Amino acid sequence: MPLLHTYGQMLQSVARINTAVRWDDEELMDPSAKLPEVYPFAGALYQRELAALQRQKPQGELTLEELYVAVEMLSAVALINRALEAGDVGAFWSSLLTPATGLTEVKDKSVQR
């Protein structure tokens, strides 16, 4: 029974997040949603991009899986943007090469350049 309770909590969190995205809230950080790490400094990025994804859906709601993938990718983008803004080349490459970005074919020679 605890597994069903946890899944129910995740679904409730997803519903709250979908509503929050429309109203610029910070529900993404709700631990019961079981989403990847969310960075408070990138709140505008999450809100803007998740709202755009919602508009593409006929029902205007994102599923748990869609939220998970989107938050994972947006968190990677947030870290890349932060590294670029700071001029931190090491953090930039480290963030760029994480699995969440999907850039698996970046060659070591490219990183050195």
On whether the pTM is more than 0.95, the answer is no
**Both tokens assigned to 29:** 């950080």
Give backbone dihedrals phi and psi of 104, rounded to 5 degrees, phi first. -90, -10
Domain boundaries, the chain: 2-112
Phi-psi region of 69 (alpha: psi -120 to 50; beta: other; left: phi over 0): alpha
Tens digits of residue pLDDT in 77-104:
999 999 999 999 888 888 888 888 877 6
Tens digits of residue pLDDT in 31-54:
888 889 999 899 899 989 999 999
**Both tokens assigned to 21:** 């995205």
